[in-house]
Amino acid sequence: MRNETSRTDRGGRSFIEQARRAQIIEAAAATVAEVGYAKASLARIAQRGGISKGVLTYHFATKDEMLRLAATQFFDDAWAYMAPRITAADSAASKIHAWISAELEYVAAHRTQFLAMSDIVANHRDHHGHHAFAQEFDEELTGLHDILVQGQHQGEFRDFDAYRVANILSRTIEGLLTSWAWDPNLDLAQEATVLLDFIDHAIRAETS
C-alpha cells in the first residue's frame, strides 16, 4: 500500500503540500478579514498561520497569487454547495429560490472567508490594472439569466429583459451581503424570506 503522504494531485503536489497550501490560504483569508487587503502582508499571513515567510514563498510565487486563490476557492466551494440544490429544483422559480437561499446559507456559515473574498475582489487587479474577477461575475449573471429565460419560456415569469433583471438580482444579493458584512447580527435567513417574496412579486407572470 502506498504511503498516503506520498500521493500527488493532478498538479503534482503531495497531500502534505496540498494541506500546507490549504493552511496558508486559510491564514491569508483570516488575515484579510481582520486587517483588510492593503495590510495583509506576508509577515502577517505567516504569523497568522504559525509558519515562516519562507514557507509562504515556497508554496506561492507572489502574495497576489495567494490572495486570488483565497477568493477563487471561496467561489468554488460556494458553487459546490449551491449547484446540487439549484439542479434539484423542478421549476425556474424554485431554481431562483434555491440559488439565493443556498448562497445566503453558505455565506452565513463562512463569514471570515466571505469577508476576505469581498475585500480581495474589490481591490485585486490584473497586470493590466483591470478588476481581476470579471469572468466570475459574468458567469453568475449568465446563470441567473438562463434561469430567468427558462421561466419566461415556460410561462412562469412575465416578459422583461432577462439580462438586466439578472443584474438587478445579483446586485440586490450583493447589497444584502454588504449590509450583513457591516452588521453580523443581521439575520440572513429572515432577509432571504423577504427578498424572495419581493422577487416573486416582481418577476412572476400574472395569473387570472
How far is CA 12 from its chain centroid?
Answer: 26
Looking at the structure, give the CATH architecture of the domain made up of residues 1-60.
Orthogonal Bundle (1.10)
| Mean pLDDT over the full length of the chain | 88
Q: What percent of the chain has pLDDT over 70?
A: 91
CATH 3.30.1360.120 is held by the domain 70-208 = no
pLDDT, one tens digit per residue, over 42-54 is: 999 999 999 999 9
pLDDT, one tens digit per residue, over 135-191 is: 888 899 999 999 999 999 999 999 999 999 999 999 999 999 999 999 999 999 999
pLDDT band at 20 (very low <50, low <70, confident <90, very high): confident
Say whether pLDDT at 13 is over 70.
no
Question: Where do the structural domains in the chain lie, given as residue ranges?
Answer: 1-60, 70-208
What are 36-44's contacts with CB under 8 Å, separation 24+?
36/119, 37/67, 37/119, 37/120, 37/122, 37/123, 37/124, 38/123, 40/67
